[in-house]
Amino acid sequence: MERIPVTPEGYEAIRKELEKLKRVERPENIRAIEEARSHGDLSENAEYAAAKDRQSFIEGRIGELEYKLGHLQVIDPVNLPKDRVVFGSRVLLGNLETGEDVKYQLVGPDESDVGNGRISVVSPLGKAMLGRKPGDELTIEVPGGKRSYEVIEIL
């Protein structure tokens, strides 16, 4: 069985989304379907069609989240080693071309948010960082060419 790594925050976000879908959005959508049905002819009822489409989306998303919750492996970054980069590590990288420093945390695919410094362990940079130590250099291929970084510090 495939395990999906996730931080405690990522687990909680998935759990909350699932709960909201089940307790709020699904019941609201059922009421919208009932309301649209009361308007008569369903073949030309746009409200009914939209509510049924929404129902399909909600049920699909619930199934997806339930699958994920069953396969998640929660990894707490608090107990991680600081001598090498692993899932959950917060890393200070130096861009060797520009001299610019960037901070990233390695997270699961569902948690990645580059704008907030959270990159997926399955991304090219995430994969290249795994196992590296402070002082190690890494080079990745990106659409614009190659980028080289140095692992400055594991925070």
What percent helix, strand, coil does the chain show, rounded to 5? 45, 25, 30
| Range of the structural domain that residue 34 is part of | 4-74
Q: Does the reported pTM lie above 0.85? A: no
Is 21:14 a contact under the CB 8 Å cutoff?
Answer: no
**pLDDT attached to residue 143:** 86
Is 15:34 a contact under the CB 8 Å cutoff?
Answer: no
**pLDDT attached to residue 1:** 62
- The C-alpha atoms of residue 4 and residue 115 are separated, in whole angstroms, by 22
Q: Are residues 142 and 104 in the same domain?
A: yes
- The C-alpha atoms of residue 116 and residue 126 are separated, in whole angstroms, by 15
What residues does 5 pair with on adjacent strands? 73
Q: Which among 21, 53, 74 is the end of a domain?
A: 74
CATH number, residue 64? 1.10.287.180
Is 62:96 a contact under the CB 8 Å cutoff?
Answer: no
Element (H, E) at 6: strand 4-6
CATH number, residue 142? 3.10.50.30
Is 95:149 a contact under the CB 8 Å cutoff?
Answer: yes
pLDDT tens over the chain, length 155 residues: 678 899 999 999 999 999 999 999 999 999 999 998 888 777 778 889 999 999 999 999 999 999 999 999 999 888 888 899 999 999 999 999 999 999 999 999 989 999 999 999 999 999 999 999 999 999 999 888 899 999 999 99
User: For the chain, what is the domain count?
Assistant: 2
